[in-house]
């Protein structure tokens, strides 16, 4: 279940930024600005994907958990399940 | 795109202009803004240049125009807004314009002087009227008191003639004199005291204030005046009084001797004042009409004079050829624009009706051309911030197209907050939407102009901040729980690790990811929202953000090193690829790329079960340099020394050896190779040696050869590549020193620059903390009150929260993050490949010329 969520997230994001960075540049019409737009798309895809990837990989195997106050623990026990 | 990536190819060209059509040709070039003129007479003083008289005439016309504009502004006449662009006048029209301007100046001067004289007259008459009116009151008052006085037998006539006037006093036998006039209110007390001290009782002063404000003729400001009446006995006293009045700048007017005279004077004055008013109105109307008529054409004249002056200035830069019939101008021109340049010269020749057309001729040069990078309204902002560090050298790689994305991205990493990002984007969108609004474009507020010029930068920064805000899960310091947290508290209860007693006995409890069911998986998009509720939030976030900063930094720097290959390949220095680029890249990746690998490996390989054994990456990294590790450490030293993966020691030694070996290659490779090229490579250098001998005989032949090459499009106009093969003096010591400095800078820079990227962590931490403090100290105070009063109280609390958010978090933090992102680009990224020692191409264009009138706010 948890793995499934991770797998879905990973594939969706990879696919999305892969399309933005790899597929959309082929459809930009020829013009004076084509080079700039393609550069922008590729760089955006790389930067945003990398940033998301770092965030999810850092949380993949946590070595310690959050330290919560007892009030919050009471509330979460009842509200989140 | 090639223009934005690298800059345009430029060439030096000679323009041969016929004397008759030179003016028109240059006018055409100014309209198009294609070329940059070079000064062919650098040793000539500006007073000795050929067209200095014409320039003086232009400046005289500008002086008159400035006077006109000031008068128009004073009269509050608005200039017609027009976007028309009048062309520069031909020399014939110049005289007409000059005459018109001079005539206008004379007329305006006369009318203004007349008006001032009339106004002065009016003021005097008005003062006189006031004085007469008020002194009548003095006399009337004493007249009203008369019936109460005791009547003396000796002076029976006082009953009938109860006013003080000359006749009654003369009968008394005293020489009574009157002086009346006006004085400024500020001076009246001093005046009175002075009078008393000097004349001591031989004068009587009565005064009253004038109700309305009168205009002071000297300063033009409304001032209050006081009417006074002095009556004195004796001539000498009179002299003294007159002197004192002079001293205090009083306006004196003759005092009427009796009532009838007074009435006559008042009537006369009234008529005169009315006449004067009419004349003054007519004069003002006439002045206004003159100014309105001038204002219709003054804008055209300003533009025409400006263009004329610019053309003569350019003509001064040209020189005559040997036959003295043709003007020669040297210009820098983009190669792609040469056809346009030819057409412009033809147009100019045609307009001036010359029989022989002017033409253009490319000439070879060893000077470095200026750099031209064509931008549009979107890319110009980013190009400006790159140019602020240094304009690119001719035809080297331009970092701007990459900066368009990486700069806002690094800004957003430091600024990441969803709410603030939305506000910033909306502000930028508003500026972009109304960018054609004249008022926004043409204000003279420097700070606003800076923001407006950077509107696209701010828009990109805002959009990326929204993305990073979503990943950091930070919106005005609160987290969003969109997908459901990955941490489950109930599992701790189910596993009997926590019970109600445990809860009662502790204030804070930590979830243990090792217990089944507590950690269900990473949050799919960003940081898990539970961390916002945790007290050890910063422990987790700091580790995450520091590693993120290092990873982003090393990737950014590697990208910079890879960009240098573009330069090496373009300038045909392939040896640079093997002797400079390869060692640099190996050094960076073997050491710091391996660090990035270790970070990712630790994230992927170590779970909560091994949390006690999880190694510290930093310690492993340091040990890598010290070549330690793999020795069997006693267990109490424990986790830090266990290898991350089998074979780690061997791999690390291998990487360190490669990195260390690449340093001497970087240091010595290029100088030694170049020296070998110069001395050793006989077969290669042989034919160039022969070439050199030929060259010494005929320079022109070589120039022709080179220009032929250029016309065939063979060689690039880069001096260093050809010069390097032919150079006789290759200075080994110079080159070695240069390379040594580069090596030291690069290697030490790798370490320090990697650490420098930690500012990404530092600023994002500061922003998050500020945001949290603002919420906790301001907004939560308002939200805590749960009475009805709380609703009312919340309004000013929210206002304070909004003001502080905008001023501290958006403006101050925004500027701070902007500055640090800029520094990261300028220093850490660009010193890997960019030299930035070029000169910017400044074309001669009328639209780029500054106007001093606009600067003074007159236009």
Strands (E), B210-352: 214-215, 222-223, 225-233, 251-253, 319-320, 326-334
* B286 inside 8 A of chain A by CB: no
In which residue ranges of chain B is CATH 3.30.70.2750 found?
Answer: 124-141+173-275
∠ Cα B643 B646 B650 (to 5°): 85
Query: Which of B522, B649, B706 has the alpha carbon at shortest distance from B12?
Result: B706
Dihedral angle sign, alpha carbons of residues A22, A23, A26, A27: negative
Which candidate in B466, B524, B596, B614 is best for mutational testing of the A interface (most A CBs within 10 A)? B524
* Nearest CB neighbour to A65, from listed B512, B523, B552: B512
Q: How far apart are CA B567 and CA B395, in angstroms?
A: 9
* Nearest CB neighbour to A77, from listed B379, B489, B611: B489
Dihedral angle sign, alpha carbons of residues B258, B263, B268, B269: positive
DSSP state of B319: E
- Please report, for chain A, how many H helices and E strands are present, in that order: 3, 1
pLDDT score recorded for residue B428: 96
* A7 inside 8 A of chain B by CB: no
This prediction has a pTM of 0.82
CA dihedral B165, B168, B170, B175 (to 10 degrees): -50
Phi/psi of residue B255, nearest 5 degrees: -95, 125
A75 vs A2 pLDDT, higher one: A75
pLDDT score recorded for residue B141: 60
Which candidate in B533, B536, B562, B600 is best for mutational testing of the A interface (most A CBs within 10 A)? B533
Number of Cβ atoms within 10 Å of the Cβ of B127: 18
Stretch (H or E) spanning B427: helix B418-433
Q: How far apart are CA A24 and CA A43, in angstroms?
A: 13
Q: B392-417: string of b/e by CB count within 10 Å (b at 16+)? A: bbbbbbbbbbbbbbbbbbbbbbbbbb
* A19 inside 8 A of chain B by CB: no
Dihedral angle sign, alpha carbons of residues A67, A70, A72, A76: positive
Q: Which residue of A has its CA nearest to B483?
A: A5
Residues of A in contact with B604 (CB under 8 A): 57, 60-61
Q: Which residue of A has its CA nearest to B550?
A: A54
Q: How far apart are CA B752 and CA B52, in angstroms?
A: 57
Strand, helix or coil at B88?
A: coil
pLDDT score recorded for residue B12: 93
Number of Cβ atoms within 10 Å of the Cβ of A79: 8
Residues of B in contact with A36 (CB under 8 A): 1, 4, 379, 401, 404
Phi/psi of residue A69, nearest 5 degrees: -80, 155
- Report domain extents, chain A: 1-80
Which residues have CB under 8 Å from B698's CB, separation 6+? none
pLDDT score recorded for residue B615: 84
* Nearest CB neighbour to B603, from listed A6, A50, A58: A58
Strand, helix or coil at A64?
A: coil
B226 and B208 Cβ atoms separated by less than 8 Å = yes
Strand, helix or coil at B633?
A: coil
Residues of B in contact with A13 (CB under 8 A): 525
Residues forming beta bridges with residue B223, ordered by sequence position: B214
pLDDT score recorded for residue B457: 96
Which candidate in B491, B540, B546, B597 is best for mutational testing of the A interface (most A CBs within 10 A)? B540
pLDDT score recorded for residue A15: 97
B607 and B432 Cβ atoms separated by less than 8 Å = no
pLDDT score recorded for residue B756: 95
* Nearest CB neighbour to B507, from listed A57, A61, A69: A69
pLDDT score recorded for residue B159: 44
Distance from CA of A53 to the nearest CA of B (A): 9
**Under an 8 A CB cutoff, do B489 and A68 touch?**
yes
CATH topology of domain B124-141+173-275: Alpha-Beta Plaits (3.30.70)
Strand order in the sheet with B203-209: B203-209, B225-233, B176-184, B251-253
**Under an 8 A CB cutoff, do A66 and B471 touch?**
no
B549 and B761 Cβ atoms separated by less than 8 Å = yes
* Nearest CB neighbour to A67, from listed B5, B493, B509: B509
Rg, chain B, Cα only: 44
Q: How far apart are CA B571 and CA B735, in angstroms?
A: 18
Distance from CA of B405 to the nearest CA of A (A): 6
Phi/psi of residue B412, nearest 5 degrees: -70, -30
pLDDT score recorded for residue B850: 80
ipTM of the predicted assembly exceeds 0.90: yes
Residues of A in contact with B614 (CB under 8 A): 63
pLDDT score recorded for residue B1: 61
Dihedral angle sign, alpha carbons of residues B156, B161, B166, B167: negative
pLDDT score recorded for residue B2: 72
Q: How far apart are CA B140 and CA B362, in angstroms?
A: 97
pLDDT score recorded for residue B401: 94
Residue ranges of chain B with pLDDT lower than 70? 1, 81-83, 139-175, 217-218, 628-641, 681-730, 855, 857-859
pLDDT score recorded for residue B712: 44
Which residues have CB under 8 Å from B707's CB, separation 6+? B362, B363, B364
* Nearest CB neighbour to B506, from listed A5, A35, A70: A70
* Nearest CB neighbour to B535, from listed A8, A57, A69: A69
Strands (E), B495-590: 508-510
pLDDT digits (tens, 9 = 90+) for A60-72: 999 999 999 999 9
CA dihedral B471, B472, B478, B479 (to 10 degrees): 50
Give contacts of A 22-61 with B, CB under 8 A. Answer: 32-36, 38-40, 43-44, 47-48, 50-52, 54-61
Residues of A in contact with B511 (CB under 8 A): 65-68
């Amino acid at each position: 279940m948890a793995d499934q969520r991770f797998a879905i997230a990973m594939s969706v994001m990879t696919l999305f930024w892969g399309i933005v960075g790899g597929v959309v540049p082929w459809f930009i019409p020829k013009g004076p600005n084509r080079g700039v737009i393609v550069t922008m798309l590729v760089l955006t895809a790389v930067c945003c994907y990398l940033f998301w990837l770092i965030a999810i990989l850092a949380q993949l195997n946590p070595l310690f958990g959050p330290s919560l106050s007892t009030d919050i623990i009471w509330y979460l026990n009842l509200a989140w399940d | 795109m090639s223009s934005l990536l690298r800059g345009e190819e430029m060439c030096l060209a000679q323009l041969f202009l016929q004397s008759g059509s030179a003016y028109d040709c240059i006018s055409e070039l100014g309209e198009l803004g294609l070329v940059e003129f070079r000064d062919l007479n650098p040793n000539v003083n500006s007073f000795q240049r050929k067209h200095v008289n014409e320039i003086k005439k232009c400046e005289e016309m500008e002086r008159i125009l400035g006077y006109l504009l000031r008068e128009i502004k004073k009269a509050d006449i608005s200039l017609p807004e027009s976007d028309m662009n009048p062309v520069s006048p031909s020399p014939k029209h110049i005289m007409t314009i000059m005459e018109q301007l001079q005539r206008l100046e004379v007329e305006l001067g006369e009318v203004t002087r007349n008006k001032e004289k009339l106004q002065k007259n009016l003021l005097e008459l008005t003062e006189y009227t006031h004085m007469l009116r008020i002194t009548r009151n003095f006399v009337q008052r004493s007249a009203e008191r008369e019936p109460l006085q005791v009547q003396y037998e000796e002076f029976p006539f006082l009953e009938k003639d109860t006013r003080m006037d000359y006749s009654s006093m003369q009968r008394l036998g005293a020489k009574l004199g009157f002086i009346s006039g006006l004085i400024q209110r500020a001076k009246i007390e001093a005046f009175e005291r002075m009078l008393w001290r000097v004349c001591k009782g031989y004068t009587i002063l009565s005064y009253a204030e004038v109700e309305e404000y009168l205009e002071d003729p000297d300063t033009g400001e409304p001032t209050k005046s006081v009417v006074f009446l002095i009556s004195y006995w004796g001539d000498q006293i009179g002299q003294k009084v007159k002197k004192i009045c002079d001293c205090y700048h009083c306006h004196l007017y003759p005092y009427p001797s009796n009532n009838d005279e007074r009435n006559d004077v008042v009537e006369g004055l009234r008529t005169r004042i009315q006449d004067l008013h009419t004349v003054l109105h007519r004069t003002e109307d006439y002045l206004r009409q003159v100014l309105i008529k001038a204002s219709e054409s003054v804008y055209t004249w300003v533009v025409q004079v400006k263009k004329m002056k610019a053309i003569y200035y350019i003509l001064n830069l040209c020189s005559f050829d040997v036959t003295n019939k043709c003007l020669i101008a040297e210009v820098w021109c983009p190669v792609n624009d040469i056809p346009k340049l030819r057409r412009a010269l033809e147009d100019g020749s045609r307009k001036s009706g010359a029989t022989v057309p002017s033409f253009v001729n490319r000439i070879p040069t060893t000077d470095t051309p200026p750099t031209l990078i064509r931008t549009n309204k979107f890319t110009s902002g980013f190009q400006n911030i790159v140019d602020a560090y240094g304009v690119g050298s001719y035809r080297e790689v331009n970092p701007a197209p990459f900066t368009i994305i990486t700069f806002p991205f690094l800004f957003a990493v430091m600024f990441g907050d969803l709410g603030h990002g939305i506000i910033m984007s909306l502000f930028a969108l508003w500026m972009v939407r109304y960018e054609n609004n004249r008022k926004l474009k043409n204000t003279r507020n420097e700070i606003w102009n800076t923001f407006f010029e950077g509107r696209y930068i701010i828009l990109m920064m805002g959009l990326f901040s929204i993305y990073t805000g979503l990943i950091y899960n930070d919106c005005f310091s609160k987290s969003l729980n969109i997908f459901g947290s990955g941490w489950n508290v109930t599992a701790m209860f189910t596993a009997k690790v926590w019970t109600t007693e445990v809860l009662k006995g502790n204030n804070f409890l930590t979830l243990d990811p090792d217990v089944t069911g507590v950690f269900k998986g990473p949050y799919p998009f960003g940081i898990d929202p539970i961390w916002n509720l945790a007290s050890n939030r910063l422990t987790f976030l700091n580790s995450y953000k520091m590693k993120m900063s290092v990873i982003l930094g090393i990737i950014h720097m590697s990208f910079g090193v890879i960009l240098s290959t573009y330069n090496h390949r373009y300038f045909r220095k392939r040896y640079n690829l093997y002797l400079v680029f390869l060692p640099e890249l190996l050094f960076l990746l073997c050491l710091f790329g391996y660090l990035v690998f270790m970070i990712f490996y630790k994230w992927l390989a170590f779970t909560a079960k091994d949390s006690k054994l999880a190694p510290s990456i930093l310690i492993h990294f340091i040990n890598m340099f010290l070549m330690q590790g793999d020795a069997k450490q006693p267990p109490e030293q424990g986790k830090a020394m266990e290898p991350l993966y089998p074979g780690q020691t061997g791999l690390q030694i291998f990487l360190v050896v490669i990195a260390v070996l690449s340093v001497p290659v970087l240091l010595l490779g290029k100088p030694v190779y170049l020296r070998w090229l110069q001395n050793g490579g006989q077969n290669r250098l042989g034919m160039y040696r022969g070439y050199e001998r030929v060259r010494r005989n005929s320079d022109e032949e070589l120039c022709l050869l080179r220009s032929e090459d250029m016309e065939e499009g063979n060689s690039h106009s880069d001096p260093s590549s050809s010069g390097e093969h032919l150079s006789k003096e290759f200075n080994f010591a110079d080159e070695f020193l240069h390379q040594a400095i580069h090596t030291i800078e690069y290697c030490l820079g790798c370490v320090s620059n990697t650490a420098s990227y930690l500012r990404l962590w530092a600023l994002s931490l500061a922003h998050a903390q500020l945001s949290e403090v603002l919420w906790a100290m301001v907004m939560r105070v308002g939200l805590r009150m749960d009475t009805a009063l709380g609703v009312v109280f919340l309004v000013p609390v929210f206002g304070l929260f909004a003001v502080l958010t905008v001023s501290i978090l958006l403006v101050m933090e925004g500027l701070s993050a902007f500055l640090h992102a800029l520094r990261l680009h300028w220093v850490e990224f660009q010193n890997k490949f960019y030299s930035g020692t070029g000169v910017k191409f400044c074309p001669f264009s009328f639209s780029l010329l500054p106007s001093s009138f606009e600067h003074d706010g007159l236009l």
